Structure 1
Amino acid sequence: MCDAAEKDLYAVLGASASDSIQQLKHRYQQLALQYHPDRLGGECSSEAQYGVNKFLEVDAAWRILQDQNTRRQYDLQRRALELKQDWPVDSALYLEDMTWNQDECAYTYSCRCGGGFNISEKEVEEETQRKQQDDEDEETEEEAHGGVVVCCDTCSLSVHVTGLTLPSLTTK
């Protein structure tokens, strides 16, 4: 079940953790009918291969979520992974989605609370330099996704800002 903990089995079924077993079963049955290999007619296309892989993924998710004990164990593993996060991130966005504020020399993005997320030009430059250094060193999968967590200046929400390696910081 280690591999399953890395993948959101509820998302595989198009469901949520709060769904009842009957709701999960219904979603499983719909997806199993849609992607079952017998329905693909024995085709050897990439589309057929995708369908088979999707069916196997849906079936594996259902095998874990259908049983109360394995579902509980899976839910506990998911919760443990959530608690291990360095920082709770509510959303992700790209630097290019943010607005350049010339007066503050910072990129800004409005929060739903009315506050804002701000990242200074200096922080962007530092992250760009760090990313370039990582590119020179052997890159791990985690480092490849890079970015900075920015907190709202009013509430407790935070976003993960990526895409910090802009070609030129002077073209704002």
Structure 2
Amino acid sequence: MMDTHYSILGCSDGSSFEEIKKRYQELALKYHPDKAIISNEQDREKFVLINQAWNVLREPDTRLKYDAELKHLESISNPLIYSTVEVRDLEYDKECNIYFYPCRCGSVYNIHKDELSPPEYLLECNDCSFCLLIKV
């Protein structure tokens, strides 16, 4: 799992502005090069990350945009799988060497035979956000 601005500050995406601000202040005091009792390069780098997180999360507009980016990244890493099928469940056009399968949205998944790679292949629908997981 990647570090987010929220995790850097030790907060969740549901944290209030006040909670985020409090965590930022605590961490800034702890890691600020001029405030820390012993300052090393790792702490300075941590302080830079803390400031970057605060700069994004303190403004409602930049926080909304950041939250949208996180949701987008999550949707890419956790695709909506409409169905899991085996190759034998797909319709096959011998002339074109293409497999077909109907999508729930009314569209059709299609993939060239040479594109399938074992052990499974994730195929995105062109018309909706669903994916088809094909066991090869």
- Mapped pair 1:39 → 2:35: yes
Structure 2 contact 17–58 (Cα < 8 Å) conserved: yes
1:39 positional shift: 2.4
| In 2, Cα distance between equivalents of 1:56 and 1:65 | 14
Q: Which runs of 5+ in 2 are unaligned?
A: 81-117, 120-136
TM-score, length-normalised on structure 2? 0.54
Which structure is higher in helix share? 1
1:87 positional shift: 4.6
Aligned partner of 2:18 in structure 1 is 22
Aligned partner of 1:53 in structure 2 is 45
Which structure is higher in strand share? 2
Runs of 4+ in 1 over 2 A off after TM superposition: 39-43
Aligned partner of 1:161 in structure 2 is none
| In 1, Cα distance between equivalents of 2:29 and 2:36 | 10
When residues 27 and 42 of structure 1 are mapped into structure 2, their CA distance, relative to the original with a 3 A threshold, is closer
Residue correspondence of structure 1 range 72-83 to structure 2 within 5 A: 72-83=64-75
Residue correspondence of structure 1 range 11-160 to structure 2 within 5 A: 11-40=7-36, 48-87=40-79
* Amino-acid identity (%): 33
Matched pairs, number: 81
TM-score, length-normalised on structure 1? 0.43
